[in-house]
Structure 1
Amino acid sequence: MSIKIGIVMDPIEAISYKKDSSLAMLWAAQCKGWEIWYMEQSDLSLVQGQAMGRMAPLQVAMNPEQWFSRGDYQQQPLSTLNAILMRKDPPFDSEFLYSTQLLALAEQQGTLIVNRTQGLRDYNEKLFATHFPQCCPPVLVSRRDDALRAFHNEHQDVIFKPLDGMGGASIFRVREDGLNLGVIIETLTAHGTQMCMVQKYLPEISAGDKRILMIDGEPLPYALARIPSAGETRGNLAAGGRGEARPLSDRDRWICGQVGPTLKAQGLLFVGLDVIGDYLTEINVTSPTCIRELDTQCDLDIGMQLMNKLEQILAEQ
């Protein structure tokens, strides 16, 4: 079948050619002969109740010097596209929320949005993991100074993080001595006006924070262990971590089995689970990454696996 696929992403000029997962998806779509239409968040609009996109035809290339060429922009209803990849990076702010609401109108008219807009709105990446307490370490979400201090007092060595961060930004470790605990709580809660998360520190982070990619609720056979650089507690690649592919462990597969049915039921087709040691710490639904690293190290084509799944779903529709 002839498929028109759109993508909403950050400016393609500024992506990392070597690492960008959206680019891997676009390569796969082009290899399948699909039409690709490019948009940024600012290109979405609503006209007389119709969700519209200022979109440009896009071609991509495996060329680090020139990885795309873009045609002339056209104003078209989003519903003219068979599928749209929503790949705008966090934070999940009001503009992201409005974008999902516009995309939902196209969704109602039969366009497949990846990931489903209701799921993008409902499932915060940090909070979603807590829906599976059997998989998680001890964790607290609060903005109360006394509650956050009590959690630290109980567990002694903890990790504080904002609910809307990405790439390891604004993550703090507080050890038994409580050094800087007060200012960290003040900063992350904006003096008690916004929620933050605190988790028991997992020393297994030294062996890597594993990213497990899931397609329609099923895990890929390898995880990317993101190993912190010297002196760091964050394994995120954006924070200087090193990525090392590893086969899934029995515990990894058990966690995937716990989470997978919910992902499938909620239309969350492409998701990244973060696992440290034996514990699930985050579920990434907005723009999961690590495709390129796993493709290179494990001889995979994850972008094509995802496009094949989209093709199957569209055919069934």
Structure 2
Amino acid sequence: MTHLVPSGRTQDMSLNVAVQMDPIAAVKIAGDSTFALMLKAQERGHKLWHYLAKDLSWTGGAVRARARPVEVRAVEGDHFTLGEEEMIDLGTDIDVVLMRQDPPFDIAYITATHLLEMVREKTLIVNDPVEVRNAPEKLFVLRYADLMPDTMITRSADDVRAFRDKHGAVVVKPLHGKGGEAVFKLDEDDGNLGALVELFGEIFKEPFIAQAFLPAVVEGDKRIVLVDGEAVGAVNRLPKKGEIRSNFAAGGSGAKTELTEREQEICARIGPDLKARGLIFVGIDVIGGLLTEINVTSPTGIVAIDRYNGTDIPGRIWDAIEGRL
């Protein structure tokens, strides 16, 4: 692509930004974090390109993508305009790649991280693909087990029964699930434990996760966003009546909140590690002062946080990106 200015620009110059995401036509712009990042990039004069993970290819030592230039606007139902498709070289034509496709964190997702890893010395990938691959949400958090509720990774129904006998009620969920999908609460007298473990064994090849149920979830599951290792805001996600899941995708509602002293301690503990790993945009989940997940694949929540607090988290994220360049 001869008309693109090569990488290696200074912060006061326009950047070529490729966004690896899901189909932009399906984006719900009122709350989508990726769209908010694209709007902010465009506001700063950066040129945007849109492509899907399946559009990635490798040939002759170069990682390329069939991408289309895109302009975005905050107009429901008319939020984007795509240009003609072009083959772009992510190592020479692009300054920044935002890896923002939604999970599942499956072999296709992992393959995309391997391809992007090949250009990470030339192009800034957000978040770093190697660290994303090494930090699946419900496994990476185990590095901080002392900050978590009691947790078990297993495929054994007997293990879960013993775990439930200890805690009285447990939550069982897929190891690589998203958006609150397939999250179950099993009370101490619930007779479905065996059947649920059998079902998970048929659907998923990997183990599943069991955690002690936290009654404090009725008071909210707090999403805290960290940018370059620093907490920049939070939103309290409240489950709807009759639910334990507070994820927005599962029908949860948001509420303005502040960080408690305990939550600040959690962020201070994990923040330096996140920054060192090149995990610029991270969302963590905290219930009752206990860390439950560290989200690095395609974190969300920044639109809701900005709405409640009048902040500009997309701006903070672009400050961090431009600072690294």
Do the structures match in fold with TM over 0.5?
yes
2:240 maps to amino acid: S
What is the aligned counterpart of 2:190 among 172, 178, 184?
Answer: 178
* Aligned residue number for residue 86 of structure 1: 99
Distance 1:44 1:176, change over 3 A: same
CA contact (8 A) 1:186 1:192 kept: no
* Aligned residue number for residue 65 of structure 2: 53
Q: Quick check: 1:291 aligned with 2:305?
A: no
Looking at structure 2, the residues matched to 176 and 128 of structure 1 have their Cα atoms a distance apart, in angstroms, of 28
1:31 maps to amino acid: E
Q: Quick check: 1:230 aligned with 2:241?
A: yes
Distance 1:13 1:191, change over 3 A: closer
Distance 1:226 1:148, change over 3 A: same
* Aligned residue number for residue 161 of structure 1: 173
Distance 1:13 1:193, change over 3 A: closer
Q: Deviations over 1:102-125 (max 9, x none)?
A: 1111113x2000110111111110
Structure 1 stretches of 5 or more lacking a match? none
Looking at structure 2, the residues matched to 301 and 32 of structure 1 have their Cα atoms a distance apart, in angstroms, of 13
* Aligned residue number for residue 256 of structure 1: 267
Q: Quick check: 1:31 aligned with 2:43?
A: yes
* Aligned residue number for residue 122 of structure 1: 134
Looking at structure 2, the residues matched to 248 and 152 of structure 1 have their Cα atoms a distance apart, in angstroms, of 31
The total of aligned residue pairs comes to 312
* Aligned residue number for residue 102 of structure 1: 115
Post-superposition offset of 1:47:
1.2
Q: Which aligned runs of 4 or more in structure 1 are off by greater than 3 angstroms?
A: none
Post-superposition offset of 1:209:
0.5
CA contact (8 A) 2:175 2:206 kept: no
Looking at structure 1, the residues matched to 184 and 204 of structure 2 have their Cα atoms a distance apart, in angstroms, of 17
1:223 maps to amino acid: A
1:176 maps to amino acid: E
Q: Quick check: 1:72 aligned with 2:92?
A: no
Looking at structure 1, the residues matched to 180 and 171 of structure 2 have their Cα atoms a distance apart, in angstroms, of 11
When the two chains are superposed, the root-mean-square deviation of aligned CA atoms in Å is: 1.2
* Aligned residue number for residue 143 of structure 1: 155
Structure 2 stretches of 5 or more lacking a match? 1-12
Question: 3-state DSSP class of the match of 2:267?
Answer: helix
Question: 3-state DSSP class of the match of 1:253?
Answer: helix
2:312 maps to amino acid: D
Post-superposition offset of 1:134:
1.7
2:307 maps to amino acid: T
Percent of pairs with identical residues: 39
Looking at structure 2, the residues matched to 238 and 139 of structure 1 have their Cα atoms a distance apart, in angstroms, of 24
Looking at structure 2, the residues matched to 192 and 20 of structure 1 have their Cα atoms a distance apart, in angstroms, of 28
1:39 maps to amino acid: Y
1:251 maps to amino acid: R
Looking at structure 1, the residues matched to 47 and 203 of structure 2 have their Cα atoms a distance apart, in angstroms, of 49
Q: Quick check: 1:212 aligned with 2:224?
A: yes
1:302 maps to amino acid: I
CA contact (8 A) 1:144 1:192 kept: no
* Aligned residue number for residue 301 of structure 1: 312
2:35 maps to amino acid: L
Output the TM-score relative to the length of structure 2. 0.94
Looking at structure 1, the residues matched to 203 and 217 of structure 2 have their Cα atoms a distance apart, in angstroms, of 29
